[in-house]
Structure 1
Amino acid sequence: MRSFIVVLLVALAWAGPALGRTMDRCSLAREMAKLGVPRDQLNKWTCIAEHESSYRTGVVGPSNSDGSNDYGIFQINDRYWCQPPSGKKSSNGCGVSCKALLTDNITRSVRCAQKVLSQQGWKAWSTWKYCSGQLPSIDPCFK
């Protein structure tokens, strides 16, 4: 038990700056709108963020079956879209470090997620199955 606590404390100390912030549906929608994301997409993006990261910006997902990891509020994959801190091979399609996707400023995450969407569509996110049907209106977030 003692060794578990030590490992946990070391992990938290290492991840310190990457803990990020936790947003909610409306705060994410409003920030994305300010960044120019079309309003008719916001309910889909907020649904994806809810299911991928629980609206947390500093999340690094567990290793995928191919050894890759997913980063940030939209869980963007390091094999294809961002350069992992480990230096392992990546296509880095967004031209961004994965650590940049873990910050409180979601601009890079939003831009990269938009690029993923433009190239692969909504189905790029495994959680799309939860977001592809009728979703609650985002309008109350802007009243």
Structure 2
Amino acid sequence: MRTFLVIGALVVACLASASHAARTMDRCTLAREMSNLGVPRDQLARWACIAQHESDYRTWVVGPANSDGSNDYGIFQINNYYWCAPPSGRFSYNECGLSCNSLLTDDITKSVRCAQKVLSQQGWSAWSTWKYCSGSLPSINNCF
């Protein structure tokens, strides 16, 4: 019986931990948090569109292997070959100077900062989903 209780407690702890790590945002929550991090309001609708198409607003997503064997991480699906250090220890330029796992947390600060760096170096077209987000987008103003 004691073993059953210990195993049960471990399962509950794991489920609680997994549900905490498995944050799914929505368009307005993302816009408000990004605004609080200083992202210009005129960019928020584009960022929300990218997050929707890249990860469906999920912070914990690791994309399947790309053709070069790299993976994309987090709400903005940031590539590990160029921008973050993968947990495998595989080579990365790591331009954002962080672990890819730090892009998978509920706190999106590092994801936002790294995404802004990608934008500053490569522009919006760095995201393959940009084609869905390059035109006119619904206003984000109703989120504030």
Shorter-normalised TM range? 0.7 to 0.9
The residue identity in structure 2 corresponding to 1:64 is N
Partner residue of 1:60 out of 59, 62, 82: 62
Q: Distance in 2 between matches of 1:40 and 1:83?
A: 30
Q: Distance in 2 between matches of 1:42 and 1:78?
A: 24
Native 8 Å contact 1:80 1:90 kept in 2:
yes
TM-score by length of 2: 0.87
Which residue is 1:33 aligned to?
A: 35
* Structure 2 gaps, min length 5: 1-13
Native 8 Å contact 1:49 1:74 kept in 2:
yes
Change (3 A) 1:94 1:88: same
Deviation at 1:19? 4.6
Native 8 Å contact 2:21 2:106 kept in 1:
no
The number of equivalent residue pairs is 130
The 5-angstrom pairing of residues 1-143 of structure 1 reads 16=18, 19-142=21-144
Q: Percent identity?
A: 74
Change (3 A) 1:86 1:16: farther
Q: Distance in 1 between matches of 2:95 and 2:102?
A: 14
The residue identity in structure 1 corresponding to 2:130 is W
Q: Distance in 2 between matches of 1:96 and 1:20?
A: 20
More displaced stretch, 104-113 vs 19-28: 19-28
Deviation digits for residues 81-104 of structure 1, max 9, x if unmatched? 000000000000000100000000
Specify the structure having the higher radius of gyration (Cα): 2
Q: Distance in 2 between matches of 1:75 and 1:98?
A: 10
